[in-house]
């Protein structure tokens, strides 16, 4: 049942990807760039989005094959960010690659007879990871304030970034609580887009949110303790 639901969500996600491909545009900063650069940005963004959907499909199944679309997604994202000159976000993608390999080797060495990765309950290590993530979020706020950023977007951006860092590392280390954090993060993002009227931006997070719900519904940490 779980795999059928996941395949339906994946197909819907890919359909969304096809739709968004026709809506895809490039940032204003690329208006003066060559046609080659503009097209490269658009296609790398599209490939990153498709790879992201496939990555979350395998992750929700707790299948180590997630690593392949994950790397494609992150590499294409780095290229797109570089072309768009959004250099401040590039380190997060490199961090994602590091976490991806940590997750791959940890998951691969803790696979059940069914081929799925074992899950863990919260312990001291998980608490330390969450505290470290909170410190990183405060550091991000401090750095952005030093270089001149301010406003409500600063706090929101730092919170979502810090929360994402915490959740991704917890998931890499197989802690089930990561999905609850992702749930809260998805609700925050979708609420922000809904309140601001940015309905187009809600489409991709909705696909991730659907997978998040499936993970929480079909996976039980107590089954793998």
The model's pLDDT over 1-34, given as tens digits with 9 standing for 90+, comes to 777 888 888 888 788 777 776 676 777 788 888 8
Are both 127 and 177 inside the same structural domain? yes
Are both 106 and 197 inside the same structural domain? no
How many domains is the chain built from?
2
Whole-model pTM over 0.85: no
Give, as one character, the DSSP assignment of residue 173: T
Q: Give the model confidence (pLDDT) of 145-169 as tens digits.
A: 666 555 545 566 666 777 778 888 8
Are both 2 and 98 inside the same structural domain? yes
Are both 1 and 108 inside the same structural domain? yes
- 76 pLDDT band, cuts 50/70/90, is very high
Decide which of 112, 146, 169 is a domain's last residue: 112
Q: What is the C-alpha separation between 162 and 135, in angstroms, rounded?
A: 8
What is the domain range of residue 10? 1-112
Residue 58 has pLDDT above 70, yes or no: yes
Decide which of 82, 112, 142 is a domain's last residue: 112
Decide which of 83, 112, 141 is a domain's last residue: 112
Q: Largest alpha-carbon pair distance within the chain?
A: 56
């Amino acid at each position: 049942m779980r795999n059928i639901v996941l395949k339906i969500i994946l197909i819907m996600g890919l359909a969304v990807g096809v739709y968004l491909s026709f809506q895809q545009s490039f940032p204003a900063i690329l208006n003066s760039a060559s046609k080659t650069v503009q097209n490269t940005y658009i296609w790398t963004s599209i490939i990153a989005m498709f790879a992201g959907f496939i990555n979350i499909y395998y992750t929700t199944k707790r299948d180590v094959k997630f690593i392949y679309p994950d790397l494609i997604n992150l590499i294409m994202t780095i290229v797109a960010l570089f072309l768009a000159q959004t250099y401040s976000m590039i380190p997060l993608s490199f961090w994602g690659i590091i976490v991806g390999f940590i997750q791959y080797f940890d998951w691969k060495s803790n696979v059940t007879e069914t081929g799925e990765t074992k899950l863990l309950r919260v312990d001291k290590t998980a608490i330390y990871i969450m505290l470290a993530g909170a410190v990183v979020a405060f550091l991000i706020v401090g750095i952005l304030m030093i270089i001149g950023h301010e406003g409500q977007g600063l706090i929101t951006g730092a919170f979502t970034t810090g929360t994402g860092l915490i959740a991704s590392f917890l998931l890499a280390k197989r802690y089930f609580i990561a999905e609850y954090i992702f749930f809260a993060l998805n609700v925050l993002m979708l609420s922000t887009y809904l309140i601001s009227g940015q309905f187009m931006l809600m489409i991709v997070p909705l696909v991730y949110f659907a997978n998040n719900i499936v993970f929480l519904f079909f996976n039980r940490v107590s089954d793998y303790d």
